[in-house]
Structure 1
Amino acid sequence: MPVETPFGARLKALRQKRGLSQAALAGNDISTGYLSRLESGARQPTERVITYLAGRLGVDRSALFSPYTSSSLSEAVSVAVSTDSDDAVEAVVTALASAQGDDPLVRWQALWLVAQFRRRRGEHAEERTSLEEAIRIADGLALTALQCRSRTELARCLRATGDVTEALELAVAAYELARESGVSVSDTSKALLTLVSAEAEAGRLPDARAHVDELVALVANHSDALRTEALWAAATVRSRQGDDDGALAFIQQAMDSLDSRVDLVLWARLRLAAASLYLQARPTLTKPAHACLAEAERALSLVGTPVQQQELLTLQARLAFADGHVAGARDVLDRLDFERLALSYRDRVQLQLLESLLLIEEGHREQGLSRLKRLGEEAHRDSNMNLAAQVWRVLAEALEQSP
């Protein structure tokens, strides 16, 4: 049974198809502000408004609610690109499900939009499905830029879910495509970013260090998010190598390079990353971690996704534990909805690591130690060597403490 597209997305598509501005469609009977809210999905139309708009567009009322078919996939993609709203992307999901024989380039773009949408929501399995089809289409078209871009994003998705071995293979393939075919600096940089993160997770730190230094040099003259993320990656690799001073210098440089007015989401994510590095430093630097999380919390209250809110709570719990506030850390964790966790594999391990330490501090020593051992074994089995080493180190420190 066909599924109807949201009214707002369909309305906008019909208006744009006829080359009408919002003011031209609104006419004298409704305001452009009201029409804009209808198109965004913020308002629902009355029967009178539906009749009025159908008349202005020269269509039957049913056209404003008609299901998408294969011929309207390009229309759905155009609306989604121009509006940047989740409702519009959901219309693309609907169109993809019923489209047949559509232009492969349009379908690739639709899959790309849907994958980004799934990523924001932490729906990694659905994101992976979209990206796997995107790779097949890109390969069929033999378009190097799309082949590189699709592999880069799928590698990033797999790394986030803990599939390090496959992520590393895809990241290497994406980087080799970028290097051999001369794609854009943006695509090459993103391939390198993903390769560095996969190598770091796999414990291949010398390789990660060489590639991240290459990345930083590549984007040295850029002043946008590419340079900021490269500096962030350099900080992460140095932290994994035990170079706390180098890590903190790079993350500070990354934070200084980005104005919150340019990209508030990235600005907030940098502060989450900095807080994590402060907590991993030896000795732990709780004061700057508090400052970073306070800034991130204010920003994420405006623009944060559910995934980012979960990351914030996890870091707040880790900080409370580092401050010696065991009960406070437990209180923060109790605010997490464990039935709807959308955290990455690494963040899930960090969360389980904290829970194990809390059990030990709360008097359940054997249970906590057993969970740490199991966690280390799982990370090692999944080829997450860096995480496994971290868990074994924490376990060793816990065993040294007197019961």
Structure 2
Amino acid sequence: MRDLRLTRRMSQAQLAGHDLSDSYISLIESGKRTPTPAVLKLLAERLGCTPEYLSEGIEPEQRAHVEVRARHCELALLGGDAAGALEGFDDVIAADDNPELTLRARWGRAAALERLGRTGEAIAEFEELRELAERDAGRTSWLPSVISLTRCYHAVGDLGQAVALGERALGRLTGLGLTSGSDLAEVARVLLLAYLDRGDTPRAQTLVQHMPDDTDVAGDYRRASEKALEEGALGDAIYLADQALEAASARSRSTARARLQVAGARALIRGDEADNLRALDLLTAAEPELSGDEATACVIESARALIRLGRLDEAVATVRDTLEGMPRQSFDVVMAQAQLVLAQAHLAQSGREAALTVLRATAAQLERLPANRLTASLSRELGDLFDAAGDGANATAAYRRALESVGLRPTRRMTQAFVEH
């Protein structure tokens, strides 16, 4: 405020005007008083700046530029440009005095130093970050700094420190009930290496028996966060909640990609042998990322591709395994799709009677599903398969059901046209 006032050649009395006293202005400039938001706004108007500039020393637009710069540095680090990231983080630290942004940039700087192999400097940075976290444990977790230090001390050969810090982090994570996730995996990895380097094989083997299980990473982090919150460890609770969000987001991205792969495979299955081989690769990659009906639908599409490729025994085995894993007491759209693919595979094997047995059971079960476009599509496919098996009566009935499912009352001519089409 003083710098701006002098730049504008204003006295303290001129800045105070009729609303404030020049002595109050003097107290503010000497750091002995903090103006209220209303006074801050008034002073900013007279000095021709924003209240944010007076309170933080940087304009909002400049702050936004610095925040974007920080994110670009993080992207550079992830992309392997540690040197560029380090330079950028230094610029961010020099340009901004916002504590949160500065802390974020300091973390990035420490990580960049580690990536560049300047491990001693990285250790110094991470140790300062650990001290900050331990002084403010109510808001900040020491876990990430200790995990990073465990890795760095191992890298420089200080096995005693690596083991001590690693065991501390491992004890805290497991004490919160964490059984999965990148934090536990990294601590366990470095501890294993440190134990082996020290010749402590029994401890290493014991740790191997308790390897992380990444079946529900997001849920595991969330439960650990809840436990930390119950303990009053807010810093750990916040950190673990952020890790839960990141894990859930990563899972969401993987699922979205897998869904796209399944959709792409469905388009390719209609093509030639090369297309079907590509479809099978996409479906194989997608299946582990999916669950429930989506995973089952993925397997069904794999069976369709196998049929097109002439690998009929594999197709039949694939669908039968899928059907055996479904609850027997309930019949739904996914089960109907599986049964229709099984019938198609039987027909391709010249197993007409086996196909008809499956088709007739499916027809009876489809009657119990609500009429909509999806069941219309299934009835249409059912009719095509009955027709291919030489059962014209059931084919016609299936086509009629398809028309009725979309709200049409079929005439004989409409049904015949549908069959011919």
Tell me which interval the TM-score lies in, with the shorter structure as reference length: 0.3 to 0.5
Q: TM-score, normalised on structure 1?
A: 0.37
Q: Give the structure-2-normalised TM-score.
A: 0.35
Answer with 1 or 2: which has the greater Rg. 2
